[in-house]
Amino acid sequence: MKHTANISYRDAILCLWLAATFLSSLRYLYLGVILFISFYPLLPSISADPLIGLPAGAISAGIMLIAFLLLTFVFTLIQCTTLKLRNGVIGEHDFEVTDKAFTEATAHNKSVNSWESISQVRHVFGLLLIQRSGGDWYVIPDRSFSSMDAARAFSAYVRDRVRA
């Protein structure tokens, strides 16, 4: 199965941000630190009056989580503007899925990945994200498919190959 996708800056930025936050293996550590920082100063008030302390801690944790997500997005934007994302990242990518490997080719490079080296396949925010064992992600936007059914079929085919 072959597919060609045109990867934009928006796709690259969104993929990097998702990889740093929601898809990161450290996301539970991030959440734990945010909860600790939010609730620790409020421990005396929680023990004195839980009806006031717990909601205050929850609101504080929510504010901290939103701040964390915004900061990681800003750092992702900075990272994308300082890196040279043009060669091999932005532009046309040819993907090929066979029984033996997942292949990605651009005008600048070609990568052949055995199925054992693909660790996850996610479909998030209109992007099909495929993670290699090294932590890098391939991104394929849904808009590059002729229909959502075609995007789902390609995603299901890749998932089946990863599980096989």
Please, are residues 24 and 35 in contact by the beta-carbon 8 Å criterion? no
Class of the CATH-defined domain 2-7+91-163: mainly beta
DSSP H or E run through 131: strand 127-132
Return the bridge partners of 141, or none: 127
**Confidence at residue 119, expressed as pLDDT on a 0 to 100 scale:** 86
**Confidence at residue 141, expressed as pLDDT on a 0 to 100 scale:** 92
**Confidence at residue 75, expressed as pLDDT on a 0 to 100 scale:** 79
Residues 30-61: tens digit of each pLDDT = 777 877 777 777 667 666 776 777 777 778 78
Q: Is 130 exposed, middle or buried (0-12, 13-18, 19+ CB in 10 A)?
A: buried
pTM for the full model?
0.69
**Confidence at residue 85, expressed as pLDDT on a 0 to 100 scale:** 59
Delimit the domains of the chain by residue range.
2-7+91-163, 14-82
Regions of the chain with pLDDT less than 70: 24-25, 42-43, 45-47, 50, 79-88, 164
**Confidence at residue 68, expressed as pLDDT on a 0 to 100 scale:** 83
The closest of 148, 128, 103 to 11, measured between CA atoms, is 128
**Confidence at residue 146, expressed as pLDDT on a 0 to 100 scale:** 92
**Confidence at residue 43, expressed as pLDDT on a 0 to 100 scale:** 67
Question: Which pair of tokens denotes residue 51?
Answer: 């009806």
